[in-house]
């Protein structure tokens, strides 16, 4: 059995790169989680997980992460990524991710709507929301990335 993470941080970053993969890597570095290995997870924040914005994760660690990203090679295109966590009063949280063309305000509005829908589907009250978002105007090859990284 895998242990359940006890802490989390929410991050976002955007960057250019020489290649698609370099732009993604640079966005991760900008977000502060570029030196770890992301293990993509679905979207449930464990009960009692504590927000730790300054959490340091050892380089090379396997990090459970819910994330969204978009990469574009179209100069002048505006791209955005947002991740949001919806919190209940006494149980688990729900994480939603979005990335695509448009502004960070558009991405944030989509995340808020997704969280409201997710909590309604679970018949749970949504008592708080935490967001991280970024937008980027592509010069050559750009990436916008947003994530919730969980740790032990």
Alpha helices by DSSP H, listed for 2-151, are 20-31, 104-121
**3-class DSSP state of 86:** strand
Beginning with the edge strand found earlier in the chain, give each strand of the sheet holding 62-72 in spatial order.
Answer: 37-40, 62-72, 142-151, 7-16, 50-51
CA 104, CA 78: separation in Å to the nearest integer? 9
Q: Is the dihedral of CA 139, 140, 144, 150 positive or negative?
A: negative
Q: Which residues are catalytic?
A: 37, 42-43, 97
Q: Are 85 and 94 in contact (CB under 8 A)?
A: yes
Handedness of CA 130, 134, 135, 138 (dihedral sign): negative
């Amino acid at each position: 059995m895998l242990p359940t993470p006890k802490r989390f941080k929410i991050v976002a970053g955007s960057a250019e790169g020489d290649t698609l993969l370099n732009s993604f890597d640079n966005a991760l570095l900008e977000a502060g989680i570029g030196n770890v290995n992301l293990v993509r997870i679905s979207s449930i924040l464990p009960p009692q997980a504590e927000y730790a914005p300054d959490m340091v994760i050892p380089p090379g660690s396997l990090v459970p992460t819910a994330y969204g990203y978009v990469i574009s090679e179209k100069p002048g295109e505006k791209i955005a990524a947002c991740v949001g966590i919806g919190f209940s009063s006494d149980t688990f949280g729900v994480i939603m991710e979005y990335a695509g063309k448009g502004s960070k305000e558009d991405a944030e509005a989509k995340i808020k709507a997704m969280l409201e829908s997710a909590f309604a589907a679970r018949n749970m009250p949504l008592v708080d929301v935490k967001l991280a978002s970024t937008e980027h105007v592509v010069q050559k090859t750009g990436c916008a990335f947003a994530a919730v990284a969980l740790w032990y």
